[in-house]
A and B are shown apart, each in its own frame.
Chain A
Amino acid sequence: MGTETTSFKREMLSTLPSLRAFAVSLTGKHDKADDLVQDTVMKAWAKQSSFEMGTNIKAWLFTILRNEFYSQMRKRGREVQDSDGAFTERLSVHPSQYGSMDMEDFKKALSQLPDDQREAIILIGASGFSYEEAAEICDCAVGTMKSRVSRARSRLQDMLKVSGESDYGPDAVSTQVTTSNHSF
């Protein structure tokens, strides 16, 4: 009995960093993200009997967090959200291998995406979910998920092209590591 509780806790612990990063991408603010993760942990704990050990706890927790986020938004009204989502706040750890201007442009572009496209590209591109898992988390069809990701990707590409085409070509990412680490 006690061991089962402990392994549930352990599994939750291992998912928290990624869950928190997703929360930051939704709320755009660290303090709000931490509140959201806290609410999610409480909800998940209360519902733990509905979770089957050995199944995908990460997808389960992401689903709870996302539902919690949108239900809080509905209750409070959209206008209360004073950020435009995504990683708009200054991060305490600077993403390595990119110059800060580079990353600011990217963050801005990301924040300009429609919510559904932004969460789609983050779940697939950064959280590491499959299309099937992401579709389940967002309660949509797999095909819908695919088209959201693809639209998000091409919009980001367009926006980044406009903001600084000469800075990086398609292959510049790997070589950039050695050349532009001056920003922090």
Chain B
Amino acid sequence: MKDNNLNDQPMRSQPDDGLGPTSDIGSRLRALYGAVQEEGVPDQLLDLLEKLDNAERLHSERSQQRGE
């Protein structure tokens, strides 16, 4: 009954933890978790990451200019 082909299961965890693709609890957990994942990442978070990245790039460019 149990599917042992681990390579075909991207969200698969350990072989005998009872949470695999044929398990009721495992699929419910992943459905719930997946529903949040599908909401996407809020813009404010993406903006924050963008700002951090830009600030860092600017900083390293400036320190490079100063250094040479």
- By a beta-carbon cutoff of 8 Å, the part of chain A in contact with chain B is 1-2, 5-6, 9, 12-13, 16-18, 20-21, 24-25, 34, 37-38, 41-42, 45, 87, 91-98, 103, 106-107, 110, 121-122, 124-131, 146, 149-150, 153, 156-157, 160, 168, 170-174
Q: Which residues of B contact A41 (CB under 8 A)?
A: 45, 48-49, 52
Residue in B19, B33, B34, B57 whose beta carbon sits within 8 Å of that of A2 in the complex:
B57
Q: Which residues of A contact B28 (CB under 8 A)?
A: 95, 98, 103, 106
What's the A-B contact tally at a CB cutoff of 8 Å?
A: 137
> Hey, what's the 0/1 contact readout for B35-63 against A, CB within 8 Å counting as 1?
11111111011101100110011001000
By CB atoms of chain B within 10 A, which of A18, A21, A122, A168 has the most? A21
Q: Which 4 A-B pairs have the closest CB atoms?
A: A126-B33, A95-B31, A21-B36, A125-B19
A21 near B33 with CB under 8 A, answer yes
Please give the distance in Å from B43's CB to the nearest CB on chain A: 11
Q: Compute how far the CA of A124 lies from the CA of B46 in the bound complex, rounded to whole angstroms.
A: 27
A91 near B57 with CB under 8 A, answer no
Say what secondary structure dominates the interface of chain B.
helix
B14 near A130 with CB under 8 A, answer yes
Q: Compute how far the CA of A21 lies from the CA of B34 in the bound complex, rounded to whole angstroms.
A: 8
Total chain B interface residues with beta-carbon distance under 8 A? 39
Please give the distance in Å from B67's CB to the nearest CB on chain A: 12
A125 and B26 contact, Cβ closer than 8 Å, known pairs A5-B56, A38-B45, A153-B18: yes
A131 near B35 with CB under 8 A, answer no
Q: Which residues of B contact A95 (CB under 8 A)?
A: 28, 31-32, 34-35
Q: Which residues of B contact A17 (CB under 8 A)?
A: 36-38, 40-41
Residue in B13, B36, B64 whose beta carbon sits within 8 Å of that of A24 in the complex:
B36
Q: Compute how far the CA of A17 lies from the CA of B37 in the bound complex, rounded to whole angstroms.
A: 5
Q: Which residues of B contact A156 (CB under 8 A)?
A: 25
Residue in A13, A91, A129 whose beta carbon sits within 8 Å of that of B13 in the complex:
A129
Within 8 Å of chain A (Cβ to Cβ): is B24?
Answer: yes
A45 near B60 with CB under 8 A, answer no
